[in-house]
Amino acid sequence: MAPAPTATHSVVTLTVNGEKHTLPVDHRTTLLDVLRERLDLTGTKKGCDQGQCGACTVLVDGRRAVSCLQLAVAAEGREITTIEGVAEGDRLHPVQQAFLDLDGFQCGYCTPGQICSALAVLDEHAAGWPSAATDDVRPEAGVPPLTPEEIRERMSGNLCRCGAYVSIVRAVERAAAADRDASAADAPGGGDDIPADASKEAVA
């Protein structure tokens, strides 16, 4: 026996970058389309609409997710952070600054997704999550350092067609090093061993 018909639209309240938005949505609408078409937050990009490119990556309750496969109606009650919510006012987040300084993008279309993903990579690594690049995943083996190989594997859900991967990895390395320095500020020499060569050329 078929159940009674249910509504195909709902009024939902979405919390995006700390702001609450109440709006009616067609249940078919993805979080990605609500952000772009309804909330005018077009920083989140639609590259494939199939979960195959990562351009639409946002943070949902602090974790990265592809917003193209997230139904908006199911995102009610979650804290959503988009690229527009990453900087603090005019001050870029260190990850954004590293992308800018080291030219971690070209056309820029995958960039918001890469940056949101990189933010999550730093958090996931800090939480001790291993990756497919981690040789020994047993907890006794400890957290592997964020080597370029680890960064590449962890960032692999974000495709870039311009081929900016090399600079993106450098940017994430630099941001990770800054994180490390910040959390061990009193460690002597807490070295920025990364891409002196690339950053030297950048005079913004």
Partner 1 sequence: MTTATRGTAAPGAVGTGHTRIEGRDKVTGAARYAGEIPFGDLAHGWLVLSTVARGRVVAVETGPVLGMPGVLAVLHHGNAPRVETQYVGSLGPPDPVVGLFQHDRVPYAGWPVALVVAETSEQAREAAEALQVRYETEPHDVGFHPEHAAAYTPESVMGQPNEAVKGDLEAELAASAVVVDERYGTPEEHHNTMEPHAATARWDGGRLEVVDSNQGSRWVAEELAHLFSLDLASVRVRSEHVGGAFGCKGVRPHQVGAAMAATVLDRPVRVVLTRRQMFSVVGYRSPTTQRVRLGADPDGRLRALGHEAHGVTSKLFEFVEPSAGFGRSMYAADAHHSVTRLVPLDVPTPTWMRAPGEAPGSFALECALDELAEKCGVDPIALRERNEPAVGPVSGLPFGSRNLLACYREGARRFSWADRDPRPGTRRDGRWLVGTGMAASTFFVGAAPTTAAVTAEPDGTFTVRITAADVGTGARTALTQIAADALEVTPDRVRVRIADSDFGQAWLAGGSMGTRSWGWAVLLAARELRERLALGGAVPEEGLTARSDTSDVLAALAQKERHSYGAQFAEVAVDVTTGEVRVRRMLGIFAAGRIVNPLTARSQLVGGMTWGLSMALHEEAVRDAASGAHVGADLAGYHFAAHADVPRIEADWVEDTDDEDPVGIKGIGEIGIVGAAAAIANAVWHATGVRHRTLPIRPDRVLDAAGAPGTPGAGAAADGGPDRA
Partner 2 sequence: MREFGYLRAPDVSGALALHGADDGTRFLAGGTNLVDLMKAGVERPERLVDLAELPLDRIEETAGGGLRIGATVSNSDLAAHPEVRRRYPALTQAVLAGASGQLRNMATVGGNLLQRTRCAYFTDLARPCNKRTPGSGCAALRGEHRNHAILGASEHCVAVHPSDMGVALTAFDAVVAYETLDGPGEVPLADFYLPVGDTPHAETALPAGALITAVTLPPAPVAARSRYRKVRERASYAFAIGSLAAALDVRDGRVHDVRLAFGAVASRPWRARAAERALTGGPATAEAYAAAADAELAAAEPLPDNGYKVTLMRNLVVAVLTELAEEAGR
Using CB under 8 A as the criterion, what x/- string covers residues 114-153 for binding partner 2?
---x--xx--x--xxxxxx-x-xxxxx-----------xx
* Residues 107, 7: Cα–Cα separation, whole Å: 41
Q: Between the CA of residue 132 and those of 79, 136, 144, 178, what are the distances in Å? A: 28, 10, 11, 24
Binding of residue 107 to partner 1 (CB under 8 A): yes
Amino acid in the structure at residue 147: T
Q: Is 24 in the site for partner 1 (CB under 8 A)?
A: no
Identify which range of 111-119, 134-142, 174-182, 184-192 contacts partner 1 by CB under 8 A.
Answer: 111-119
> Nearest distance from residue 159's CB to partner 1, in Å?
6
Quick one: what does residue 144 bind among partner 2, partner 1, none, with the CB cut-off 5 to 8 Å set by partner type? none
Contact 111, 48 (CB under 8 A): no
- By CB under 8 A, tell whether 125 contacts partner 1: no
Apex 148 CA angle, 146 and 152, nearest 5: 100
Distance in Å, CB of 97 to partner 2, minimum: 22
Enumerate residues 42-101 that contact partner 1 by CB under 8 A.
Answer: 42-50, 52-53, 55, 82-84, 86-87, 92, 96-97, 99-101
Token digits for 33? 């389309």
Residue 178 makes CB contacts below 8 A (sequence gap 6+) with: 94, 98, 192
CB-neighbour burial class of residue 78 (10 A; exposed 0-12, middle 13-18, buried 19+): middle
Does residue 157 belong to the site contacting partner 2 (CB under 8 A)? yes
27 or 181, CB closer to partner 2? 27
| Span of 68-76, 98-106, 166-174, 193-201 interacting with partner 2 by CB under 8 A | 68-76
Strand pairing partners for 22?
A: 13
Q: Is residue 127 a contact residue for partner 1 (CB under 8 A)?
A: no
Residue from the set 6, 40, 140, 186 that interacts with partner 1 by CB under 8 A: 40
What HEC string does 124-149 produce? HHHCCCCCCCCCCCCHHHCCCCCCHH
Give the Cα separation of 62 and 120 in Å (integer): 8
Which stretch, 33-41, 49-57, 87-95, 179-187, contacts partner 2 (CB under 8 A)? 49-57
Q: Cα–chain-centroid distance for residue 137?
A: 24
Residues forming the site for partner 2 (CB under 8 A): 1-3, 5-8, 10, 26-28, 30, 49-51, 54, 57, 60, 63-66, 69-71, 73-74, 117, 120-121, 124, 127-132, 134, 136-140, 152-154, 156-159
